[in-house]
């Protein structure tokens, strides 16, 4: 036994050296703390070397072999626990290290100050209560604390892990921690037979730690346990049947009778016949007890293919794929990820979840870079990738953290590419298995087979979806063409109307000019020229030419607006001044039509920066429009107010409202009336007077008004219940102007000074009705 005890530490040291080599050769998990793993092997080697110290040899004062082994064991437990906690939690265990160093210091001080040290002596644990040993108590207390913390950390990792592979690692660490703690108790027991067993237990736990740290997929403890129990059960059943058959043959005396071979053969056949159903029943019972499931890949693939081949709707296919896949592979969840058109030269591939909508109501989308290891695995090897491999396999260490976070948020365990004609069109994603076991190679092979089967169905569904989308777009285009056709017809009518209107507008003043010119010429030839008659004819000629000039000017203004060539000269101006100047020339026309034209609420409005001449033109055009379409005796009210900006970046605005009691505007024409040459009625039915009810015009006034107002950074719109010649529901025009023009406004030059109320004639009041109703004109 002495020789065995002396050889075993040497074997342990040699194994530790071999494990050193394994660590540096298979350096797959450097980031998980290789230095601590190396330190654990050093502590293991030192602990084994302490066994080589002679039993009665003292190293320092009273410190001998027993305390040296205990001290090495303490360092080993601290290093082993650090590796365990780092692997389970992913963080450096500062509390554990602090407690461990404190334990070491107290243990050393207790050994140096104690009169006697009994650690390692035979039966010292049994005498610890009757003969307390300070160093022994500290050592035993530390092992007890480690016995609580290390399994607790392993349980923490087990219950907080989302991936079955991580759960399996936590179970492995739990088993290794229990083995290490049992080995520690056996070593410090002082029993000659138990100490080598404890050393072997420690070697087993340290070897397991090296295995867990040098491979990303650790030993599957649950699968091995299930396999062991299944094999043990089957062997037990087989042995029981054979034993029962032998006992029956012995009781019947068949084994001693050389002529009873036929009966023995018959008995063997009966035992074999019973063996098969008993084995199947016990196997199923064991799987149910252990919670494991075995999937028949052939049946699962056949069922999956039958279900998805019936669907051509993309959304329905996604639902069918998820439901069938969950049933076939016994997983908790699954998803079908669609890939947007991905060409070989594209830098990224975009994946989307067709049935999910984010906070903004859009489909959830994410991207994988062209150089992503995940995408390369899908495109080159065409094999599934597990979430565990993405996070822990060194082959995927170059994966972008954003990609990992997005895929992790899907809460899936495996992803299989869907390829058709060497093109990635989708990804089949599976969640965790219902029995909590990881995805084994056979599961990934089945998932890859199902992904291949999904390819054809997905391509057909996408073709159908694309066809329907194309049909929808064609319908939209057709509707657009119809609308465009209607607009073109309206524009054609508008042009025809404009020719009619323009010719009419021009012919009338031209006829007047020609008629009066001929009359003057005739009177001159006859010597009958009367200065009063000539003055009247000249005045009429002047009005006709003025009307022609207004028409030509309006057409020039519209042409400038078309090419955005109208220059605006900005200066400070009062809205009240602009409105008064717009209204003043219209007072006589309103009085003749017995219209009540009033402007109220203009006092106190802030000064704006504007092209005063152009704004006067714009407001006058809008007011003239109201006069034309308001019956005699009607009312036109003009009001204004200040609209404050919502924040500091939003400019304050002036809103002017021009409301009339006219015939109103049809809802379909509310936008069209601002188009050039547009007329809401047949121009042949209009009179030729400029201010008469339903008077004729070229249809350019509102177009110019809109262009000028928008050139100031403002906007104009109209509201009306509808068009009715009898009820006259009226219309309301709204004009908003910013106090300061936007950067997009065209600046040519800036004039100093402000146009204020002092520029107006003294006879104009700031708060009055300019034209009274017809009742006051009697």
Cα 378 from Cα 165, distance rounded (Å): 21
pLDDT for the residue 420: 85
Sketch out the chain's domains with CATH numbers.
Answer: 2-219 (1.20.1070.10), 224-287 (no CATH), 297-465 (3.30.450.40), 566-777 (3.30.565.10)
pLDDT above 70 (res 647): no
Q: How confident is the model at residue 380 (pLDDT cuts 50, 70, 90)?
A: confident
Cα 129 from Cα 125, distance rounded (Å): 8
The single residue listed with the structure tokens 């209107």 is: 501
- Give 611-626 pLDDT, tens digit per residue: 898 899 899 989 998 9
- Give 268-288 pLDDT, tens digit per residue: 777 777 777 777 777 777 666
pLDDT for the residue 762: 34
pLDDT above 60 (res 774): no
Q: How confident is the model at residue 764 (pLDDT cuts 50, 70, 90)?
A: very low
Q: How confident is the model at residue 1 (pLDDT cuts 50, 70, 90)?
A: very low
| Beta-strand relationship, 363-369 and 768-771 | unpaired
Q: What are phi and psi of 435, to 5 degrees?
A: -85, 0
What separation in angstroms does the CA of 389 have from each of 28, 168, 369, 386, 395? 12, 14, 18, 5, 8
Cα 71 from Cα 112, distance rounded (Å): 13
Long-range Cβ pairs for the range 644-652 (8 Å, 24+): 651/738, 651/739, 651/740, 651/742, 652/606, 652/738, 652/739
pLDDT for the residue 255: 60
pLDDT above 70 (res 156): yes
pLDDT for the residue 393: 82
Please check whether residue 654 is in contact with residue 734, taking contact to mean a CB–CB distance below 8 angstroms: no
Q: How confident is the model at residue 729 (pLDDT cuts 50, 70, 90)?
A: very high
Residue 472's CB is within 10 A of a number of other CB atoms, namely 10
Cα 628 from Cα 495, distance rounded (Å): 21
Residue 735's CB is within 10 A of a number of other CB atoms, namely 25
pLDDT above 80 (res 321): yes
* pLDDT, averaged across the chain: 78
How does 457-467 read in b/e, with b if 16+ C-beta sit within 10 Å?
Answer: bbbebbeebee
197 or 497: which leads in pLDDT:
197
Q: What is the mean pLDDT of residues 134-150?
A: 85
- Give 349-364 pLDDT, tens digit per residue: 777 776 554 444 455 6
Residues 6+ apart with CB under 8 A from 745: 568, 570, 711, 712, 713
Mean pLDDT check: name the lowest of 32-46, 193-207, 397-411, 528-542: 528-542
Mean pLDDT check: name the lowest of 123-132, 143-152, 480-489, 594-603: 123-132
pLDDT above 80 (res 662): yes
Cα 536 from Cα 539, distance rounded (Å): 5
658 or 220: which leads in pLDDT:
658
217 or 387: which leads in pLDDT:
387
pLDDT for the residue 359: 41
Single out the residue of 125, 141, 143, 142 nearest to residue 191, CA to CA: 125
| Token pair listed for 203 | 């070697």
Mean pLDDT check: name the lowest of 112-121, 129-138, 300-309, 720-729: 112-121
- Give 504-545 pLDDT, tens digit per residue: 666 667 777 777 777 777 776 776 767 777 777 777 777 777
Q: What are phi and psi of 375, to 5 degrees?
A: -65, -40
Q: What is the mean pLDDT of residues 385-389?
A: 88
pLDDT above 90 (res 440): no
pLDDT above 90 (res 719): yes
| Token pair listed for 693 | 């009810």
DSSP structure class, residue 735: E
């Amino acid at each position: 036994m002495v020789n065995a005890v002396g050889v075993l530490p040497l074997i342990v040291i040699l194994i530790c050296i071999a494990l050193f080599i394994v660590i540096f050769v298979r350096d797959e998990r450097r980031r998980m703390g290789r230095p601590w793993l190396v330190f654990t092997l050093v502590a293991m080697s030192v602990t084994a070397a302490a066994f080589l110290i002679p039993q009665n040899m003292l190293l320092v004062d009273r410190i001998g072999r027993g305390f040296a082994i205990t001290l090495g064991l303490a360092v080993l437990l601290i290093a082993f626990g650090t590796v365990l906690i780092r692997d389970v939690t992913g963080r450096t265990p500062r509390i554990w290290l602090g407690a461990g160093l404190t334990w070491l210091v107290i243990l050393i001080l207790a050994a140096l100050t104690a009169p006697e040290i009994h650690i390692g002596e035979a039966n010292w644990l049994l005498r610890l209560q009757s003969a307390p040993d300070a160093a022994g108590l500290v050592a035993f207390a530390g092992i007890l604390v480690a016995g609580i913390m290390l399994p607790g950390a392993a349980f923490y990792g087990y219950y907080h892990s989302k991936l079955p592979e991580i759960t399996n690692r936590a179970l492995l660490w739990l088993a290794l921690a229990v083995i290490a703690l049992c080995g520690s108790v056996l070593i410090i027991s002082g029993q000659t037979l138990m100490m080598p067993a404890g050393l072997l237990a420690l070697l087993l736990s340290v070897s397991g730690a090296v295995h867990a740290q040098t491979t990303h997929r650790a030993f599957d403890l649950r699968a091995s346990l299930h396999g062991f129990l299944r094999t043990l059960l089957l062997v037990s059943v087989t042995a029981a049947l054979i034993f029962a058959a032998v006992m029956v043959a012995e009781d019947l005396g068949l084994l001693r009778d050389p002529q009873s071979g036929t009966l023995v053969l018959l008995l063997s056949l009966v035992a074999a016949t019973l063996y098969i159903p008993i084995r199947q029943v016990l196997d199923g019972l064991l799987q149910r007890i252990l919670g494991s499931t075995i999937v028949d890949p052939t049946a699962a693939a056949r069922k999956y293919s039958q279900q998805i081949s019936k669907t051509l709707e993309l959304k329905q296919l996604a639902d069918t794929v998820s439901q069938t896949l969950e049933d076939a592979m016994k997983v908790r969840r699954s998803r079908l990820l669609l890939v947007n058109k991905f060409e070989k030269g594209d830098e990224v591939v975009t994946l989307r979840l067709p049935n999910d909508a984010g906070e903004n109501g859009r489909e959830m989308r994410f991207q994988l870079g062209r150089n992503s290891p995940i995408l390369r695995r899908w495109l080159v090897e065409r094999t599934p990738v597990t979430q565990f491999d993405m996070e822990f396999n060194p082959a995927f260490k170059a994966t972008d953290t954003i990609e990992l976070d997005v895929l992790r948020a899907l809460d899936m365990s495996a992803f299989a590419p869907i390829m058709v004609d060497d093109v990635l069109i989708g990804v089949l994603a599976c969640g965790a298995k219902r029995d909590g076991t990881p995805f084994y190679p056979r599961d990934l092979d089945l998932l890859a087979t199902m992904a291949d089967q999904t390819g054809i169905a997905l391509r057909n569904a996408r073709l159908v979806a694309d066809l329907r989308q194309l049909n929808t777009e064609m319908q939209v285009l057709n509707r657009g063409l119809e609308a465009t056709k209607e607009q073109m017809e309206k524009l054609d009518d508008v042009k025809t109307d404009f020719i009619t209107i323009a010719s009419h507008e021009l012919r009338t003043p031209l006829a007047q000019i020609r008629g009066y010119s001929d009359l003057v010429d005739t009177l001159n030839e006859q010597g009958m020229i009367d200065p009063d008659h000539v003055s009247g004819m000249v005045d009429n000629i002047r009005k006709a030419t003025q009307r022609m000039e207004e028409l030509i000017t309006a057409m020039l203004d519209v042409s400038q607006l078309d090419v955005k060539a109208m220059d605006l000269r900005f200066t400070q101006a009062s809205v009240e001044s602009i409105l008064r100047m717009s209204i003043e020339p219209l007072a006589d026309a309103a009085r003749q039509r017995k219209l009540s034209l009033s402007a109220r609420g203009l006092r106190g409005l802030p000064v704006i920066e504007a092209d005063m001449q152009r704004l006067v033109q714009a407001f006058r055009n809008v007011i003239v429009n109201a006069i034309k379409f308001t019956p005699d005796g009607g009312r036109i009210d003009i009001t204004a107010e200040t609209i404050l900006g919502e924040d500091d970046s939003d400019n304050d605005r002036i809103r002017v409202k021009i409301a009339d009691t006219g015939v109103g505007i049809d809802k379909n024409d509310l936008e069209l009336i601002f188009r050039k040459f547009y007329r809401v009625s047949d121009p042949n039915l209009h009179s030729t007077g400029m201010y008469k009810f339903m008077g004729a015009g070229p249809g350019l006034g509102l177009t110019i008004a809109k262009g000028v107002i928008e050139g100031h950074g403002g906007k104009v719109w109209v509201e009306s219940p509808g068009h009715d010649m009898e009820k006259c529901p009226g219309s309301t025009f709204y004009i908003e102007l910013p106090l300061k023009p936007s950067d997009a406004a065209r600046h040519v030059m800036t004039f100093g000074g402000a146009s204020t109320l002092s520029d107006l004639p003294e006879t104009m009041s700031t708060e009055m009705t300019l034209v009274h109703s017809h009742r006051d004109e009697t």
